[in-house]
Amino acid sequence: NRRNKVLTIDTMNPNVKNVEYAVRGPIVQRAVQIEKELREGVKKPFTEVIKANIGDAHAMGQQPITFFRQVLALCSYPELLKDNMFPEDAKSRARRILQACGGSSLGAYSASQGIDCVRQDVARYIERRDGGVPCDPDNVYLTSGASDGIVTMLKLLVCGEGASKTGVMISIPQYPLYSAALAELGAVQVNYYLNEEKCWSMDLSELERSLAEARKHCNPKVLCIINPGNPTGQVQSRQCIEDVIRFAAKEHLFLMADEVYQDNVYAEGCQFHSFKKVLFELGPQYSNTVELVSFHSTSKCYMGECGFRGGYMEVINMDPEVKAQLIKLVSVRLCPAVPGQALMDLVVNSPQPGEPSYTTFMKERTTTLSLLAEKAKLTEEILNTVPGITCNPVQGAMYSFPNISLPQKAIKEAKALGQAPDMFYCMKMLEETGICLVPGSGFGQKDGTYHFRYGHRSLLKHVITTSLSVKWASIPK
């Protein structure tokens, strides 16, 4: 008897009610049901569900890096340090991590900001990546995946009511963690649209339009960028990053750069430029003033270790008083999981030339990255052969976000069912082919355009060509 409950849909936190998260939304719940039906012997036009909804590398068959897992095993059960089956570099990494843990155990809490020596290794990694731009370990905070860092930063930044409520600029299409976190915090989501015609590039004029619009009804103070893009797969040019930084400086915006796909750059002529490096190359008038936080994680790239929830963020030009508040805030949750911290350390402090694990490590790393590059190219090619589907070149990250032109009849049918047209398309695709996609409406898109996000890891050539064509044919014209 619902009336008697303390906590009901009507009495709960309305901000939580407003949260949407398409990547694990209704279509995924239906996919899980279908998997169950298949196990129970229900006949379907397919034998397995292809989960192209999420970038879950290992679930899709990507193999973990041997060296990482050896060190984690050694850290978990240090008795193995006596064993001869492990290479010396794995043992020395494990000893170093354990020495930095309370009681030499992964089971002790770490400092809330993360283990000291891991933060130092992260700082050195960032310096190498950015051609020597200095990084202070005190600016590095270990997190539970990048999501945790992003939410923590937004928590610090969001305040005010009515017209003075914090506005946060996010790209459309976006990764729905952003919209979900903003809904939960009751902040104002300020959309700027990526330019699909120009390979999902970020246009300065659109940023200006979006900001001017937002200033009429809220206080926009944060600009979020995902580079390489999720779900759109673009890689920002150096020029574009410069423009964005100048724009943020001029407009007094706090920059949040989600750079978790920094190793996933495939297209020729494309290169990853970190916001931090470009910021410092612009000279002290920028590098001493613009507030920037950059996020990275162990979940993507060649590692794909999503389950460990490892990550870090680096804060630049953060007010010292705010830093003290940030440390206090992360203290309440005690610390990020220590195995994830250990893994983050291995990512930023991987085997070096001359060490016994170097050759195997490089081989595994290169194989995975080449396979991902190949899949990115293949996906683009195949999708563009399907009538009605147009896919931009996939320059980086792990997804395609193709445009689908749906016939009016299908759009009508969807609307009659109260579904977004691309949700209708993806649902039919799932029921008829077993491919689980996320509809573009879950990421945001220009009105009247329709898309889906497709995770490359799950690419099986014959599956996608046949099933997409079949599907396409099955939509009433």
Q: By CB under 8 A, name the one of 52, 170, 211, 253 that touches a second copy.
A: 253
Q: Which range of residues in 156-164, 195-203, 405-413, 445-453 is near a second copy by CB under 8 A?
A: 156-164
30 binds a second copy (CB under 8 A): no
Q: Which range of residues in 56-64, 123-131, 205-213, 271-279 is near a second copy by CB under 8 A?
A: 56-64
CB-CB neighbours of 213 under 10 Å: 15
Count of residues in contact with a second copy, rule CB under 8 A: 98
Q: By CB under 8 A, name the one of 42, 85, 416, 473 that touches a second copy.
A: 85
Minimum CB distance to a second copy, residue 386 (Å): 28
Q: By CB under 8 A, name the one of 72, 122, 126, 182 that touches a second copy.
A: 72
Minimum CB distance to a second copy, residue 433 (Å): 20
Find how far residue 6's CA is from the centre of its chain. Answer: 36
Q: Which is nearer to a second copy, 11 or 205 (CB)?
A: 11
- Label residues 230-240 b or e (16+ Cβ within 10 Å = b): bbbbbbbbeeb
Asked if 427 contacts 473 with a C-beta cutoff of 8 angstroms, the reply is no
- φ/ψ of 12, rounded to 5, equals -75, 170
CB-CB neighbours of 197 under 10 Å: 7
Q: Any idea of the CA torsion for 402, 225, 177, 219, to the nearest 10 degrees? A: -120
Minimum CB distance to a second copy, residue 12 (Å): 5
Q: Which is nearer to a second copy, 9 or 416 (CB)?
A: 9
Q: Which is nearer to a second copy, 338 or 372 (CB)?
A: 338
Asked if 226 contacts 174 with a C-beta cutoff of 8 angstroms, the reply is yes
Which candidate, 122, 167, 395, places its Cα nearest to that of 276?
Answer: 122
Q: Which range of residues in 40-48, 75-83, 392-400, 411-419 is near a second copy by CB under 8 A?
A: 75-83
Asked if 330 contacts 310 with a C-beta cutoff of 8 angstroms, the reply is no
460 binds a second copy (CB under 8 A): no
Q: By CB under 8 A, name the one of 309, 365, 375, 451 that touches a second copy.
A: 309
Give the pair of three-digit tokens for residue 123.
């700082």
Q: Which of residues 182-241 bind a second copy (CB under 8 A)?
A: 184, 221-222
Minimum CB distance to a second copy, residue 121 (Å): 18
Minimum CB distance to a second copy, residue 276 (Å): 17
Q: Which is nearer to a second copy, 6 or 42 (CB)?
A: 6
Sign of CA dihedral 90, 91, 92, 98: positive
Q: Which residues have C-beta within 8 Å of that of residue 186, sequence separation ≥ 6? A: 15, 158, 165
Q: Which of residues 258-287 bind a second copy (CB under 8 A)?
A: none
Report the alpha-carbon distance of residue 94 to residue 104 in Å, rounded: 10
Q: Which range of residues in 7-15, 227-235, 360-368, 374-382 is near a second copy by CB under 8 A?
A: 7-15
Report the alpha-carbon distance of residue 181 to residue 187 in Å, rounded: 9
Q: Any idea of the CA torsion for 389, 392, 394, 395, to the nearest 10 degrees? A: 180
Q: Which of residues 91-150 bind a second copy (CB under 8 A)?
A: 101-103, 105-112, 144-145, 147-148
Q: Which residues have C-beta within 8 Å of that of residue 156, sequence separation ≥ 6? A: 322, 325, 326, 329
Minimum CB distance to a second copy, residue 7 (Å): 5
Q: Which of residues 328-357 bind a second copy (CB under 8 A)?
A: 328-329, 331-340
Q: By CB under 8 A, name the one of 34, 52, 265, 306 that touches a second copy.
A: 306
Report the alpha-carbon distance of residue 235 to residue 283 in Å, rounded: 23
Q: Which is nearer to a second copy, 29 or 474 (CB)?
A: 29
Q: Which is nearer to a second copy, 220 or 393 (CB)?
A: 220
Distances (CA, A) of 7 to 2, 3, 17, 20, 184: 9, 10, 13, 20, 17
Minimum CB distance to a second copy, residue 196 (Å): 26
